[in-house]
């Protein structure tokens, strides 16, 4: 193919190159590495500059950088990506450098950073550096602080990392679409003093949400409330990495919320305190103990604990609909209804009726329901004692003795010391003492009111909110 460049002489080419040369253009673009895996990559330890404990990104990775004089240079490429949200389900999202979310950017307080952003999307974009203190013109608000980055263009952002802390990046251009498609990433700025707020393990993830109909691959971007995929770093349980921790380690977990609702993140087995927000470090005198941390919309929270109790500790959003995957059909509540006789009667009225959940919905955790391709079961995942009956925003903090420093490999399920697991009572149960109800006293059967609800609409409740 003949390019325009083919027609102009080398002298003209040189003149052209000179005309566009500026601070950044003089240097060759830094490499833009791409990631093809959705599993946690080892942390990137600093090779020069102040020492710090690097973060690990759940189901993610840290963007390598290069030094150019005293500038730390990164290259982000905004592009369509295919993200495996959990084994058996892939989503066609937009992200950065091969994945959604994009790679985590790590720097040190005082660093001069230069971030190249190349747009390979079909529409314009920008990147806003959430929580960052920087010159107004580097803030990344399309139309307000800069022209939009058109498809094919590369823009350069330059600033000095004024303070350490927990930040994120996302577009400030066609946000409804671009954030609903998965465009976001984490930024961690480490303190210049390696001893300040030092921890042994530092986990990061973003809370995000999608509406992807069963069998579909692309999120519906106009949805405001009724999402059905509640994810951490665009992964849902059982696809979310475990947080592997060595006994005795001081641990930090940093979360940012780019969904449209709050998420009370609850961790079992410990109490802890928020030590950092996107506004900065929380002074010790201002902290209080919690076991759930509510992460508001558009905010970041980091909490810390000393991992002194080994075990498999659940960590999850406490909104129970957020620990489930997509439901593609109407689900009615049949709790308390004995469906054995009822099912026959209903099947006459409703041929496609499937009796489900007469004793709760737990049976769905084991049941192999017929599902469309590329659709995750609503509740799934197995532990050493059986089905965990979860989906969505759920993972496990695995605190173990005897693993190496910075070893994040899955140690398997916790081996509970003898006598420390809840156990079945095997004594006499037939005549367990129980107070009689009024109807039982009168020797009548308890009254149960039955209502048959015909699943008329196929387009009913799709998700959880
Ligand atoms: Cu939630």
Question: How far is ligand 1, taken at its centre, from the CA of residue 208, in Å?
Answer: 9
The maximal CA–CA distance of the chain, rounded, in angstroms, is 106
Instruction: Label residue 428 by pLDDT band (50, 70, 90).
Output: confident
Indicate if the pLDDT at residue 364 is higher than 90.
no
Question: How far is ligand 1, taken at its centre, from the CA of residue 51, in Å?
Answer: 35
Angle at 350 (CA atoms; ends 349, 352), nearest 5 degrees: 155
Average pLDDT over residues 133-148: 98
Q: What is the pLDDT of residue 450?
A: 55
Q: What is the pLDDT of residue 351?
A: 53
Question: How far is ligand 1, taken at its centre, from the CA of residue 319, in Å?
Answer: 5
| CATH T-level topology, domain 22-191 | Immunoglobulin-like (2.60.40)
Question: How far is ligand 1, taken at its centre, from the CA of residue 431, in Å?
Answer: 42
Indicate if the pLDDT at residue 457 is higher than 90.
no
Least confident segment among 108-122, 135-149, 329-343: 329-343
Question: How far is ligand 1, taken at its centre, from the CA of residue 240, in Å?
Answer: 15
Average pLDDT over residues 134-144: 98
Question: How far is ligand 1, taken at its centre, from the CA of residue 250, in Å?
Answer: 26
Question: How far is ligand 1, taken at its centre, from the CA of residue 293, in Å?
Answer: 11
Average pLDDT over residues 433-444: 63
Q: What is the pLDDT of residue 430?
A: 72
Question: How far is ligand 1, taken at its centre, from the CA of residue 228, in Å?
Answer: 11
Question: How far is ligand 1, taken at its centre, from the CA of residue 265, in Å?
Answer: 7
Beta-carbon neighbours within 5 Å of ion ligand 1? 263, 317, 319, 322
Average pLDDT over residues 391-400: 96
Rg (CA), the chain: 26
Question: How far is ligand 1, taken at its centre, from the CA of residue 260, in Å?
Answer: 10
236 contacts 85 by C-beta, under 8 angstroms: yes
Indicate if the pLDDT at residue 214 is higher than 50.
yes
Q: What is the pLDDT of residue 91?
A: 95
Instruction: Please provide the average confidence, as pLDDT, over all residues in the chain.
Output: 85
Indicate if the pLDDT at residue 340 is higher than 50.
yes
Nearest to 125 by CA among 46, 184, 211, 203: 184
Q: Hey, which of 15-19, 269-273, 327-331 has the most confident mean pLDDT? A: 269-273
Average pLDDT over residues 40-56: 94
Least confident segment among 182-186, 222-226, 305-309, 335-339: 335-339
Q: Hey, which of 206-220, 271-285, 416-430, 439-453 has the most confident mean pLDDT? A: 271-285
Average pLDDT over residues 344-353: 55
Question: How far is ligand 1, taken at its centre, from the CA of residue 180, in Å?
Answer: 16
Question: How far is ligand 1, taken at its centre, from the CA of residue 297, in Å?
Answer: 11
Question: How far is ligand 1, taken at its centre, from the CA of residue 132, in Å?
Answer: 25
Average pLDDT over residues 392-396: 95
Question: How far is ligand 1, taken at its centre, from the CA of residue 367, in Å?
Answer: 25
Q: What is the pLDDT of residue 365?
A: 53
Distance CA 396, CA 299 (A): 23
User: pTM for the full model?
Assistant: 0.82
Question: How far is ligand 1, taken at its centre, from the CA of residue 288, in Å?
Answer: 22
Indicate if the pLDDT at residue 136 is higher than 60.
yes
290 contacts 336 by C-beta, under 8 angstroms: no
Question: How far is ligand 1, taken at its centre, from the CA of residue 178, in Å?
Answer: 21
Question: How far is ligand 1, taken at its centre, from the CA of residue 458, in Å?
Answer: 26
Instruction: Look at residue 15 and give its three-state secondary structure.
Output: helix
For the chain, the structural domain boundaries read 22-191
Question: How far is ligand 1, taken at its centre, from the CA of residue 244, in Å?
Answer: 22
83 contacts 229 by C-beta, under 8 angstroms: no
Indicate if the pLDDT at residue 447 is higher than 90.
no
Instruction: Label residue 215 by pLDDT band (50, 70, 90).
Output: confident
Q: What is the pLDDT of residue 285?
A: 97
Question: How far is ligand 1, taken at its centre, from the CA of residue 423, in Å?
Answer: 31
Question: How far is ligand 1, taken at its centre, from the CA of residue 317, in Å?
Answer: 5
Instruction: Label residue 242 by pLDDT band (50, 70, 90).
Output: very high
Q: What is the pLDDT of residue 1?
A: 35
Indicate if the pLDDT at residue 32 is higher than 50.
yes
Question: How far is ligand 1, taken at its centre, from the CA of residue 276, in Å?
Answer: 20
Q: Which neighbouring-strand residues pair with 255?
A: 205, 301
2 versus 295: the higher-pLDDT residue is: 295
Question: How far is ligand 1, taken at its centre, from the CA of residue 327, in Å?
Answer: 16
Question: How far is ligand 1, taken at its centre, from the CA of residue 311, in Å?
Answer: 24
Indicate if the pLDDT at residue 336 is higher than 80.
no
Question: How far is ligand 1, taken at its centre, from the CA of residue 11, in Å?
Answer: 60
Question: How far is ligand 1, taken at its centre, from the CA of residue 225, in Å?
Answer: 12
Q: What is the pLDDT of residue 27?
A: 59
Question: How far is ligand 1, taken at its centre, from the CA of residue 465, in Å?
Answer: 9
Indicate if the pLDDT at residue 65 is higher than 60.
yes
What is 133-164 written as a DSSP string?
---GGGS--BTTTB--B-TT-EEEEEEE--S-
How many percent of the chain have pLDDT more than 70? 77
Q: What is the pLDDT of residue 226?
A: 82
What is 215-249 written as a DSSP string?
T--S--TT-SS---EEEETTB-TTSSPPEEEETT-
Spell out the residues 6+ positions from residue 406 whose beta carbon is closer than 8 angstroms to its own: 43, 201
Question: How far is ligand 1, taken at its centre, from the CA of residue 445, in Å?
Answer: 41
360 versus 435: the higher-pLDDT residue is: 435
Question: How far is ligand 1, taken at its centre, from the CA of residue 312, in Å?
Answer: 21
Question: How far is ligand 1, taken at its centre, from the CA of residue 179, in Å?
Answer: 17
């Amino acid at each position: 193919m003949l390019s325009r460049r083919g027609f102009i002489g080398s002298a003209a080419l040189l003149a052209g190159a000179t005309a566009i040369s500026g601070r950044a253009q003089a240097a060759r673009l830094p490499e833009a590495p791409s990631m093809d895996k959705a599993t946690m990559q080892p942390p990137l330890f600093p090779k020069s500059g102040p020492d710090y404990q690097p973060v690990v990104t759940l189901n993610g990775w840290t963007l390598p950088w290069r030094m150019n004089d005293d500038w730390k240079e990164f290259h982000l490429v905004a592009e369509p990506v295919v993200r495996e949200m959990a084994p058996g389900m892939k989503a066609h999202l937009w992200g950065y450098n091969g994945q959604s979310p994009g790679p985590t950017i790590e720097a040190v307080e005082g660093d001069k950073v230069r971030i190249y952003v190349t747009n390979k999307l079909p529409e314009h974009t920008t990147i806003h550096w959430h929580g960052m203190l920087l010159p107004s013109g580097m803030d990344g608000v399309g139309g307000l602080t800069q022209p939009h980055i058109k498809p094919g263009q590369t823009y350069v952002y330059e600033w000095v990392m004024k303070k350490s802390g927990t930040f994120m990046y996302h577009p400030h251009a066609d946000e409804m679409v671009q954030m609903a498609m998965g465009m976001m990433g984490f930024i961690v700025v480490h303190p210049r003093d390696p001893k300040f707020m030092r921890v042994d393990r530092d986990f990061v993830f973003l809370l995000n949400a999608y509406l992807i109909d069963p069998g579909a691959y692309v999120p519906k971007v106009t949805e405001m409330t009724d999402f059905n995929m509640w994810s951490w770093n665009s992964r849902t349980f059982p696809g979310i990495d475990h947080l592997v921790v060595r006994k005795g380690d001081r641990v930090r977990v940093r979360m940012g919320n780019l969904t449209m609702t709050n998420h009370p993140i609850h961790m079992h087995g410990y109490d802890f305190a928020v030590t950092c927000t996107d506004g900065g470090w929380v002074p010790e005198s201002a902290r209080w103990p919690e076991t759930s941390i509510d992460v508001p919309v558009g905010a970041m929270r980091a909490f810390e604990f000393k991992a002194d109790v080994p075990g498999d500790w659940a960590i999850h959003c406490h909104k129970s609909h957020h620990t489930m995957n997509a439901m593609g059909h109407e689900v009615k509540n049949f709790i308390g209804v004995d469906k054995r006789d009822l099912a026959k009667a209903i099947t006459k009225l409703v041929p496609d009726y499937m009796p489900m959940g007469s004793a709760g919905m737990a049976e769905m955790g084991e049941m192999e329901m017929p599902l469309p391709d590329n659709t995750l079961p609503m509740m799934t995942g197995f532990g050493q004692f059986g089905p965990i009956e979860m989906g969505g925003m759920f993972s496990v903090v695995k605190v173990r003795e005897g693993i190496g420093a910075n070893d994040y490999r899955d140690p398997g399920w916790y081996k509970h010391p003898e006598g420390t697991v809840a156990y079945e009572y095997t004594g006499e149960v037939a005549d367990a003492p129980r107070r009689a109800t009024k109807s039982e006293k009168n020797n009548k059967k308890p009254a149960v009111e039955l209502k048959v609800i015909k699943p008329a609409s196929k387009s009913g409740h799709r998700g959880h909110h």
